[in-house]
Structure 1
Amino acid sequence: MLTYHRLSSIQDPNFRALHHLLQSIFPPEEVLAYDLWKEPLEDPSIHVCVAVHEGEVVGATEYRYYPELRVAMTDFTIIGRPALGVGRFLLRSRERDLARLAEQSETKPIGMFAEVYDPFRAADHAFGGVSPMNPYVRREVLSHIGYKRLDLAYVHPSWDHEGEAVSELDLCFLPADEEQSSIDASLVATFLERYYSALPNKPEEWLGMMNRIRSSESIGLLPI
């Protein structure tokens, strides 16, 4: 049986297991250092939850909801063990929690952002050898859920605080309206500025991308 547990401290014994899982799945530039997790875990707006099976952390997801923008962000979804239904469990648990957060803020969500690896640019990453985390699989799953890719050359600052540009991902959006074919560029710019405000070192590539977004009215939403 899977249980859904929110982490709120690096002292939580499940956090060490989560951080090890992160390091085994993602490349180093995508993983925040252990000690730097203290403030995010204590931030009430950031939800870091793990799926626990027989005392073992077998999956995790991190997300947040911006009521003023009426959008959510899925920071990551990790499946550490196949054949346990971890992905579906995390998806449904997250959906219920986000619905609760929207109700509390008396807002109606318009969609959710997510970053996903482009397997043609991230082919060298083994992603922990766990088949459900394969870039091709993850991308297809997001497509089935309803995510669409923003029509832009996307980069983001590395989470190792080195200020490098990470360009192996696409920024995607899951619109509440399945027929939505574009997204307001100012919404994207505001979201990205807030989401990456915790990283002081921004690469020139990211700054250039942000300028291009701000100079646009809308950004197309394309199939993944």
Structure 2
Amino acid sequence: MEFVRINHIEDPLFADMHGLMGRIFPAEEVLSFDLWKEPLEDPGIRVFVAVHEGKVVGATEYRYYEDDNVAMTDFTIIGEPGLGIGAFLAQQRQLDLQQVASKAGKELFGMFAEIYDPYRIEHHEFGGIKPMDPFVRREVLSHLGYRKLDFPYIHPSWNNDGEAVSELDFCFLAYDPATQSLPGSLIEKFLRRYYAVLAQKPEAWEQMVTQVGQRSQVSLLPL
């Protein structure tokens, strides 16, 4: 299996990846094809696909913010069961991020992720791919060390229509197990920067981000 970076929208592998996203994720979670041009060309956004026998069978997008020494897992897609795609993507992503942080003279502090709460998202089948089932994904991410941040989370729809999307938790993987909380100011800064690409954001999101930014520390809780 190959771990291949995609840097432009004309790459044939990107069309395969975007089609896979449309089969796996709900519509409001998928950025439209044309709007991917700038993110793919942004050196800070890292999009890789898992290619097996010439076919895109998985994908992951993530980014690293050197100033705060944190990363964000935008998504991980497993397109077929029984190939070890999830483990392959997680391992390759971790190696890549460690190299990126090392070039900046740092050891990666941790990684954010949005994780579906399976008790609120049971109706979604995620393309019928069982490894993408919310219960399975949440348990795997818990085993990897992710914990949820203690505040009610919503995010703006990627349809850029100003709708609020719930049914997720905002989580963090801290590489130092002694880390039990994060500064609210770090969370606010991250979310405002991360969602700056969306012009239409719900008022409920604005209130949530402002409120969490006013907290000195936000606890990390078990998933």
Equivalent in the alignment of 1:87: 86
**In the alignment, which residue of structure 2 is the partner of 1:195?**
194
1:174-219 CA distance string (max 9 Å, x none): 0011132111111111111111110111101101101211211010
Q: What SS does the corresponding residue of 2:171 show, helix, strand or coil? A: strand
Give the secondary-structure state (helix, strand or coil) at the position aligned to 1:48.
Answer: strand
Q: How many residues are aligned here? A: 223
Q: Which residue is equivalent to 2:108?
A: 109
Q: Tell me which stretches of 4 or more aligned residues in structure 1 moved more than 4 Å.
A: none
Letter in 1 for 2:217: S
Kindly report which structure 2 residues correspond to 1:45-56, keeping only aligned pairs within 5 A, or say none: 45-56=44-55
Residue type of the partner of 1:176?
Y
Partner of 1:186: 185
Cα separation, 2, equivalents of 1:172 and 1:66 = 17
Deviations 1:106-151 (A, max 9, x none): 1222110001100111111110000000000000000000000000
Match of 1:41 in 2: 40
Which sections of structure 1, spanning at least 5 residues, go unmatched?
Answer: none
* Partner deviation per Cα, 1:13-52 (whole Å, 9 max, x = no partner): 1111100110001100000000000110011110010000
| Bigger shift: residues 179-188 or 125-134 | 179-188
RMSD over equivalenced CA pairs, Å: 0.7
Q: Percent identity?
A: 56
CA distance in 2, matches of 1:194, 1:208: 16
The within-5 A match list for 1:98-137 is: 98-137=97-136
Partner residue of 2:70?
71
Residue 15 of structure 1 aligns with which residue?
14
Inter-partner Cα distance in structure 1 for 2:88 and 2:3: 8
Within 2, Cα distance between the matches of 1:103 and 1:214? 29
Matched to 1:73, the amino acid is M
Where 2:75 maps in the other structure, the secondary structure is strand
Distance 1:87 1:11 in 2: 26
Give the partner amino acid of 2:149: L
The farther-off stretch of 77-86 and 100-109 is 100-109
| SS in structure 2 at match of 1:178 | coil
Secondary structure of 1:171's counterpart equals: strand
The residue identity in structure 1 corresponding to 2:28 is E
Aligned residue number for residue 214 of structure 2: 215
What SS class does the counterpart of residue 137 from structure 1 fall into? helix
TM-score (norm 2): 0.99
